[in-house]
């Protein structure tokens, strides 16, 4: 109750640094977490939200359910390896998968801009339908709104999803403990670079395709095999670095990772060097990290590598005894540094 009063006292605007919302507040970095910690968290405070997980895990009439929502705004709407429709389905499916749930039902809200070609809408909807089929979920309810021309960016989509949790494993950031090993299911940075390449008109020798994919089957395969998973997190905005920081902070532990163990494809690395970006912060749509007991790591890696979505899975680091939620990275040349969370999105450097 005391915290709630504090919140009321600090109304109307608890954040002093910025009197208005900046794009960086949606970038998956520190500013976005300030919104969560200072505005949304205190406003809606409850035990489910306080877990700071990808979705809420609720017990309802004896059933254990996962519930999540996500909104999708991407420009361009279509890019190599995916489109906004596919993202809207897989993104929510993946958030459910990160709770260890079997995704069942999705809702979709579409906000369309006046003047959007009907053919574009049809392509997006077709893509959503195919994605839902591949992920094994049903889209059971929806809504459509149209805004004035110039007030939207073609199509915005929100999806929410419900999944059932059919095993006894508790997958939460707070279950992460020192000694846990961290597995990554493949190379990073492809989605962000694929989208940016189209946006900036960059051409590479061969096209870089988004890694956009539903990860629910791979996760359930690990759980069905009895792998002791303590936490899962998909790498979306803010990339691997932000996901590691989120978990370290929520769990109050340290994390140590090795840069040379993190797979990055040559073409993605090349694009990052060219654009002045660090692949560790670039967005993904088909990648996750799993925090696993050391005794299960060999088996987990074997299972992941047997799946198309985990072909290049690797052991990238471990949870340490340190407190304070810092992530440390051993660089390619063998020195250590902090792997920090960015303020907002990465901004390309001058030279």
Partner 1 sequence: MRFISEYRDAQAAQRYARLIQRIATRPWTLMEVCGGQTHAIVKFGIDEFLPEALTLVHGPGCPVCVTSVELIDKAIEIASRPDVIFCSFGDMLRVPGTKKDLLSAKANGGDVRIVYSPLDALRIAQENPSKEVVFFAVGFETTAPANAMAVYQAYQQNIRNFSMLVSHVLVPPAMEALLSSPHNRVQGFLAAGHVCTVMGYTEYEPIAKKYRVPIVVTGFEPLDILQGVYMCVRQLEEGRAEVENQYTRSVRREGNRVAQQLIREVFRVIPRKWRGMGEIPESGLGLQPRFAEYDAERRFGVAAHTVEESSECISGLILQGIKKPHECPAFGTRCTPEHPLGATMVSSEGACAAYYRYRRMPATARVIKGS
Would you give the DSSP letter of residue 231? E
Q: Does 178 bind partner 1 (CB under 8 A)?
A: no
Q: Does 75 bind partner 1 (CB under 8 A)?
A: no
- Cβ at position 241, least distance to partner 1 in Å: 10
Binding-residue pattern over the window 263 to 302 for partner 1, x denoting contact by CB under 8 A: ---x--xx--x-xx--------------------------
String of DSSP letters for 292-334: E-GGGHHHHHHHHHTSGGGTT-EEEEEEEEEES--EEEE-TTS
Q: Does 195 bind partner 1 (CB under 8 A)?
A: no
Instruction: Return d(Cα 48, Cα 145) in angstroms, integer.
Output: 30
Among 5, 17, 308, 321, binds partner 1 (CB under 8 A): 17
Residue numbers 250-269 binding partner 1 by CB under 8 A: 266, 269
Say if CB 13 and CB 19 are below 8 A apart. Answer: yes
- Cβ at position 113, least distance to partner 1 in Å: 19
Instruction: Return d(Cα 145, Cα 242) in angstroms, integer.
Output: 33
Q: Does 200 bind partner 1 (CB under 8 A)?
A: yes
Among 9, 11, 23, 118, binds partner 1 (CB under 8 A): 23
- Cβ at position 203, least distance to partner 1 in Å: 14
Cβ nearer to partner 1, comparing 51 with 258? 258
- Cβ at position 259, least distance to partner 1 in Å: 9
Q: Does 36 bind partner 1 (CB under 8 A)?
A: no
Binding-residue pattern over the window 305 to 334 for partner 1, x denoting contact by CB under 8 A: --------------------------xxxx
Instruction: Return d(Cα 99, Cα 57) in angstroms, integer.
Output: 7
According to DSSP, the residues that pair with 19 across neighbouring strands are none
Cβ nearer to partner 1, comparing 20 with 61? 20
Q: Could you give the 3-state DSSP secondary structure of residue 180?
A: coil
Say if CB 89 and CB 184 are below 8 A apart. Answer: no
Q: Does 203 bind partner 1 (CB under 8 A)?
A: no
Outline where DSSP puts E strands in 61-211.
Answer: 63-72, 78-79, 82-83, 102-113, 138-147, 155-164, 181-184
Q: Does 151 bind partner 1 (CB under 8 A)?
A: no
Distances (CA, A) of 154 to 109, 185, 223: 14, 33, 39
Q: Convert 331-350 to b/e letters by CB count within 10 Å (16 or more is b).
A: eeeeeeeebebbbbbbeeee
* Residues at the interface with partner 1 (CB under 8 A): 17-18, 20-24, 30-31, 34, 200, 266, 269-270, 273, 275-276, 331-338, 340, 343, 347-351
């Amino acid at each position: 109750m005391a915290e709630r009063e504090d919140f009321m006292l600090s109304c109307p605007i608890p954040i002093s640094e910025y009197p208005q919302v900046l794009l960086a507040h949606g970038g998956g970095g520190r500013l976005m977490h300030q919104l969560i910690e200072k505005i949304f968290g205190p406003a809606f405070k409850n035990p489910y939200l306080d877990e700071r997980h990808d979705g809420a895990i609720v017990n309802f009439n004896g059933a254990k359910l996962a519930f999540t929502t996500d909104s999708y705004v991407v420009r361009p709407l279509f890019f190599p390896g995916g489109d906004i429709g596919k993202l809207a389905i897989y993104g929510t499916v993946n958030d459910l998968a990160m709770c260890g749930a079997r995704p069942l039902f999705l809702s979709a809200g579409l906000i369309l801009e006046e003047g959007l070609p009907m053919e574009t809408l049809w392509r997006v909807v077709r893509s959503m339908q195919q994605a839902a089929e591949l992920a094994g979920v049903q889209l059971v309810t929806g809504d459509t709104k149209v805004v004035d021309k110039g007030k939207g960016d073609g199509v915005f989509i929100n999806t929410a999803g419900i999944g059932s949790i059919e095993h006894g494993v508790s997958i939460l950031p707070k279950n992460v403990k020192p000694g846990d090993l961290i597995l990554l299911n493949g190379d990073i940075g492809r989605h962000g670079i694929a989208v940016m390449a189209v946006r900036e008109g960059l051409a590479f020798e061969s096209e870089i395709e988004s890694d956009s994919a539903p990860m629910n089957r791979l996760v359930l395969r690990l759980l069905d095999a009895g792998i002791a998973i303590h936490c899962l997190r998909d790498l979306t905005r803010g990339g691997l670095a932000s996901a590691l920081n989120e978990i370290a902070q929520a769990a109050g532990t340290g994390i140590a990772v090795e840069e040379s163990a993190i797979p990055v494809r040559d073409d993605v690395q090349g694009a990052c060097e060219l654009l002045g970006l660090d692949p560790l912060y670039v967005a993904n749509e088909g990648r996750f990290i799993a925090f696993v007991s050391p005794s299960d790591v060999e088996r987990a890696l074997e299972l992941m590598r047997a799946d198309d979505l985990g072909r290049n899975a690797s052991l990238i680091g471990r949870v340490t005894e340190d407190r304070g939620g810092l992530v440390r990275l051993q660089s390619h040349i063998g020195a250590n540094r902090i792997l920090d969370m960015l303020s907002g999105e990465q901004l390309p450097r001058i030279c």
